[in-house]
């Protein structure tokens, strides 16, 4: 366990900022002010925070529909996210893209897209460009275990492995794709790490709710990439707390594909609580500090909602701008 205070405080504050941003946005979503289909990553924050800490601003990230965590952890602008969900000009895609089309090139967050299996291929493409240009940067593709049903993921692994590309493939295995577990989509005993190794990738399964475990695994993968040793696959075991798309809890709407008991067991392993407990038990922060940080974050997010709502709607006359 790394007991560096600055690092642990960084982890907690990042996890908290992402958690509270999404929780406040989920409450706001229920008012009807946001119409974009929105996939919350509440419960999964440690993957984004742990991986991002191992990256530089020039390293690039591609991700899928459950993307707010990755955007914020890479340093994406908060108002850009909030206004995008509100459909306003101040949004990072000027209100045209919604929750699944986030971008902030200034911090290396190239973008999110809901097309499953794209992020691994685009990350491999960026990694190829870095390697041809002899730049020391790496590319990261985040995706879910459901995306691993797409052939493009494995083609990307193969290509990256053959060319020893500086790319990190990060699977957030939250046990479900929409409402189906992997057991109804893949043969019994399917092991994603084993499959990745068959393409000669380094592959590691980590506790995706332990930000320190994710960070350590990501850092060694990044070091290997920068040393020219090629790609790594990380399978981060985690759990989504809310419904697949939207702000509700599954049990509020009687969805039966998973039980409330299973959810509660995973909530016991909350990455934010674990990080906060570590700070307090190691004497790195007090319970008062944690509360104070939460009020600062809440104020920042609420202000972003106010500012987002002041931003104009896109003009109808610009409807076809940037459409190819
Ligand atoms: C190519 C493609 N096929 C199907 C879909 C519909 N779809 C959207 S999200 C999703 C489930 C994704 O599951 P997973 O990759 O595990 O990510 P999670 O939602 O669990 O984070 C599906 C099937 C899609 N967006 N793209
Ligand atoms: Mg999934």
Q: Are 284 and 9 in contact (CB under 8 A)?
A: yes
pLDDT digits (tens, 9 = 90+) for 200-244: 999 999 999 999 999 999 999 999 999 999 999 999 999 999 999
pLDDT digits (tens, 9 = 90+) for 158-211: 999 999 999 999 999 999 999 999 999 999 999 999 999 999 999 999 999 999
In degrees, to the nearest 5, what angle opens at C-alpha 117 toward C-alphas 113 and 122?
A: 70
For residue 189, report the distance from its CA to the centre of ligand 2, in Å: 17
Ligand 1 binding pocket mutation candidate from 64, 67, 177, 192 (most atoms within 8 A of CB): 177
Distance of CA 36 to the CA centre of its chain: 18
* Residue nearest to ligand 1 atom 21, measured at CA: 144
**Residue range 44-64: mean pLDDT, rounded:** 98
Instruction: Tokens for 30, please give them.
Output: 């229920």
Using CA atoms, how far apart are residues 64 and 56, in angstroms rounded to an integer? 20
Q: Are 145 and 120 in contact (CB under 8 A)?
A: no
Q: Are 234 and 192 in contact (CB under 8 A)?
A: no
DSSP state of 313: P
DSSP state of 149: G
Ligand 1 binding pocket mutation candidate from 146, 148, 172 (most atoms within 8 A of CB): 146
Residue 157 above 90 pLDDT? yes
For residue 309, report the distance from its CA to the centre of ligand 2, in Å: 32
**What are residue 202's DSSP bridge partners?**
232
Residue 1 above 70 pLDDT? no
Instruction: Tokens for 135, please give them.
Output: 């730049």
Domains of the chain: 5-307 (3.40.50.970)
Q: Are 210 and 46 in contact (CB under 8 A)?
A: yes
Q: Say if residue 324 is exposed, middle or buried (CB neighbours under 10 Å; 0-12, 13-18, 19+).
A: exposed
Atom of ligand 1 nearest to the CA of 174: 20
Q: What is the pLDDT of residue 162?
A: 98
For residue 316, report the distance from its CA to the centre of ligand 2, in Å: 36
**Residue range 10-24: mean pLDDT, rounded:** 98
Residues with CB under 6 A from ligand 1: 65-66, 114-117, 143-147, 174, 176-178, 244
Using CA atoms, how far apart are residues 228 and 252, in angstroms rounded to an integer? 49
* Residue nearest to ligand 1 atom 12, measured at CA: 177
| Region at 225 (left for phi over 0; alpha for psi -120 to 50; beta for the rest) | alpha
Using CA atoms, how far apart are residues 191 and 172, in angstroms rounded to an integer? 14
Residue 115 above 80 pLDDT? yes
Using CA atoms, how far apart are residues 176 and 186, in angstroms rounded to an integer? 12
Q: How confident is the model at residue 70 (pLDDT cuts 50, 70, 90)?
A: very high
Using CA atoms, how far apart are residues 134 and 128, in angstroms rounded to an integer? 10
């Amino acid at each position: 366990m790394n007991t560096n205070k600055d690092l642990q405080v960084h982890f907690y504050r990042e996890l908290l900022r992402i958690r509270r941003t999404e929780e406040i946005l989920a409450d706001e979503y229920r008012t009807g002010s946001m119409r974009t289909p929105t996939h919350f990553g509440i419960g999964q924050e440690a993957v984004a925070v742990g991986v991002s800490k191992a990256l530089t601003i020039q390293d690039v990230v591609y991700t899928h529909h459950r993307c707010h965590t990755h955007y914020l952890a890479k340093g994406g602008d908060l108002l850009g996210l909030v206004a995008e969900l509100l459909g306003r000009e101040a949004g990072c895609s000027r209100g045209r893209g919604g929750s699944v089309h986030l971008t902030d090139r200034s911090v290396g967050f190239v973008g999110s897209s809901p097309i499953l299996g794209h992020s691994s291929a685009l990350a491999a493409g960026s990694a190829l460009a870095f390697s041809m240009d002899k730049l020391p940067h790496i590319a990261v593709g985040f995706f879910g275990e459901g995306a691993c049903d797409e052939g493009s993921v494995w083609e990307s692994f193969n290509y990256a492995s053959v060319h020893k590309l500086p790319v990190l493939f990060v699977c957030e295995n939250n046990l479900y794709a929409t409402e189906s577990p992997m057991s109804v989509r893949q043969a019994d005993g399917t092991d994603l790490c084993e499959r990745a190794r068959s393409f000669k990738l380094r592959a590691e399964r980590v506790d995706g709710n332990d930000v320190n475990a994710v960070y350590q695994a990501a850092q060694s993968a990044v070091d290997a990439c920068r040393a020219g040793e090629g790609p790594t696959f990380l399978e981060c075991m985690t759990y989504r707390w809310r419904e697949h798309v939207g702000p509700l809890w599954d049990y509020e709407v009687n969805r039966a594909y998973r039980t409330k008991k299973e959810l509660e067991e995973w909530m016991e392993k909350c990455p934010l609580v674990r990080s906060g407990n570590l700070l307090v038990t190691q004497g790195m922060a007090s319970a008062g500090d944690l509360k104070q940080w939460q009020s600062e974050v809440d104020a920042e997010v609420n202000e972003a909602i106010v500012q987002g709502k002041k931003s104009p709607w896109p003009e109808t006359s610009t409807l076809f701008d940037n459409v190819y």
